Amino acid sequence: MARIDKETTSDIVAQYGGKAEMLVQILQSIVMRYGWIPEDTIRQLAEELNLSRADVHGVVEYYHDFRTHEPGKHIVKICQAEACQAMGSRELTNHAEKILAMSLHDTENDITLEPVYCLGNCACSPAVMVNGKTYGRVDEKRFNDLLDGMRGND
Ligand code: FES
């Protein structure tokens, strides 16, 4: 994904009236367009919104979707919330980490593996999201198939 430039950051801040209370919406807008929030963007947001960097960092760290590292081409999220845990998402996560040879929050070989806390698909636990599309009742075989399909679209 591309790196956000200073001008675009300023434009997004201006779209929200330059208001510090719109920080969450500003961050969401940046993540929707660029997938992540670089440190220099956090610094710029703090300056333009008259906040401390710690203030901006606090919000970024609170929300799981506000990642501060550039994601891979493919983003795989495994739900870690209660209903999915009850249906085996921890075991599925262990499987994913093993076959991808990476841990949650890592990016390797164009794939970012992340936890997510409820995809609104609890009735079909465990749930997984691959590149923005949600899948339910994902067992190890289905997970492998999803990865194969994802790679097949490259
Ligand atoms: S708990 Fe996993 S989708 Fe809701």
Q: Hey, is 85 helix, strand or coil?
A: helix
C-beta 29 within 6 A of ligand 1 = no
C-beta 81 within 6 A of ligand 1 = yes
Q: How confident is the model at residue 1, as a pLDDT?
A: 58
Q: Hey, is 102 helix, strand or coil?
A: coil
Q: Residue 82 CA: which ligand 1 atom is closest?
A: 1
**Which amino acid type is present at position 50?**
N
Query: Does residue 153 carry a pLDDT above 80?
Result: no
Query: For 30-55, what is each residue's pLDDT tens digit?
Result: 999 988 999 999 999 999 999 999 99
What is the three-state SS of 23-81? HHHHHHHHHHHHCCCCHHHHHHHHHHCCCCHHHHHHHHHHCCCCCCCCCCCEEEEEECC
Query: Does residue 3 carry a pLDDT above 80?
Result: no
Domains, the chain, ordered by start:
6-62 (1.10.10), 74-152 (3.40.30.10)
Name the residue of 80, 90, 125 whose CB sits within 8 Å of the most ligand 1 atoms, as the mutation to test its pocket: 125
Q: Tell me the whole-structure pTM to 2 decimals.
A: 0.81
C-beta 80 within 6 A of ligand 1 = no
CA 86 / ligand 1 centre spacing (Å): 10
Contact (CB, 8 A) for 126 and 88: yes
